[in-house]
Amino acid sequence: NAGVTQTPKFQVLKTGQSMTLQCAQDMNHEYMSWYRQDPGMGLRLIHYSVGAGITDQGEVPNGYNVSRSTTEDFPLRLLSAAPSQTSVYFCASSYSKFNEQFFGPGTRLTVL
């Protein structure tokens, strides 16, 4: 049981480049979410999904896209990277939005 996995662990991008952060879980959780963590701001929700085929925006969705084609996978796409997107990104999953969330190890992204 691997829990929540994320790849890559580190990434450096140039402004304007695009990329996809991968997230997978093997706990059969319906609810998955993406957060960004910035110093002094805690975790802020980017996008979330309540099940395959269903996604919605969180608090800071601009510049990011998501899709959920399977229960296991929930990739986060940066469309055109900007320096303001330099952050640590965490994926999480849970049985529902009301339950405790299990977090992945994070991806540290730097946009130059």
In the chain, the amino acid numbered 65 is N
Instruction: Name the segment binding other proteins (CB under 8 A); options: 22-30, 63-71, 73-81, 92-100.
Output: 92-100
Q: State yes or no: residue 105 binds other proteins (CB under 8 A).
A: yes
Q: How far apart are CA 78 and CA 62, in angstroms?
A: 10
Residue 78 bridge partners (DSSP): 19, 64
- C-beta closer to other proteins: residue 81 or 104: 104
Give the residue, chosen from 64, 104, 109, 111, that forms a contact with other proteins under the rule CB under 8 A: 104
Q: Which stretch binds other proteins (CB under 8 A): 10-18, 32-40, 62-70, 72-80?
A: 32-40
Show the binding pattern over residues 44-63: x = contacts other proteins (CB under 8 A), - = does not.
xx--x---------x-----
3 vs 16, which CB is nearer to other proteins?
Answer: 3
Provide long-range contacts, Cβ within 8 A and 24+ apart, for 94-97.
Answer: 94/29, 94/31, 95/29, 95/30, 95/31, 96/30, 96/31, 96/50, 97/31, 97/48, 97/50
